[in-house]
Structure 1
Amino acid sequence: MAKKARVRDYDQFIVRLPPGMRDRIKDKAERAGMSMNEAIVWCLEREFPAPVTLEDRLEELATMVSMLTDSKDTYSGVVHLIAEIEETLDAIGTKGGIPADTKFSDMVRERLDYWREIELDSWRDRNESPFDDANWTSVEEPPEGDPFPNLPDDEMKKD
């Protein structure tokens, strides 16, 4: 874990404020229960956020995975996690995005695509029946009670 920086180690920057702005900052900071410095830093953090490292993002994703184990709605959690992974992959290597090796993001993307294929096959296994007439196109409806409606009578007699 990284050491917490001491206040005296922080960078200092002198800012010239237009007339009246110091008082406005002071009033808003007091109402928010903050010092003027905290209020200014808070505003600057919103406009100039620290860059996200790949390690930070992977830690966030790992936290999401651990939360999924406790979730009652695992499927929607997985869908959300996949969207977050894709967003992370899109941010890798882009200007202002997450600095990382693009080979890494390509590898993760390939594994994600592979997972999607497996999940689709699994979904089909769970939800599609090979015996469901809606999955087959046929010219005529099978007669009721006939288990082999498309066999010619000669082939039926052979058995």
Structure 2
Amino acid sequence: MQRPKQKMQGSTGRDSEKFILRMPAGMRDRIAKMAAQNGRSMNSEIIAALEKYVEATDSISLLWDAIDELQKQIDDIHESRGDLNRD
């Protein structure tokens, strides 16, 4: 069963930036198969994968920032209680 096309943010027309990519053997065929299953071009499939990766990376960075902030708050609480010998 073929999945419906997913809309991309922005378009990739003649004015879009271009980047030549070397792929390991077999990867082109895998991407072509995935693109066909998702009802989009190989270019759109690669862009969708890159967008997912970038969004996930951004989310992970935000989580690490939140963890750092929470650790600072915990340290401040322990410091204010005079509990410096914790591990």
TM-score, length basis structure 2: 0.48
Larger RCO (alpha carbons 8 Å, 6+ apart): 2
Query: TM-score if structure 1 supplies the norm length?
Result: 0.27
Larger radius of gyration: 1
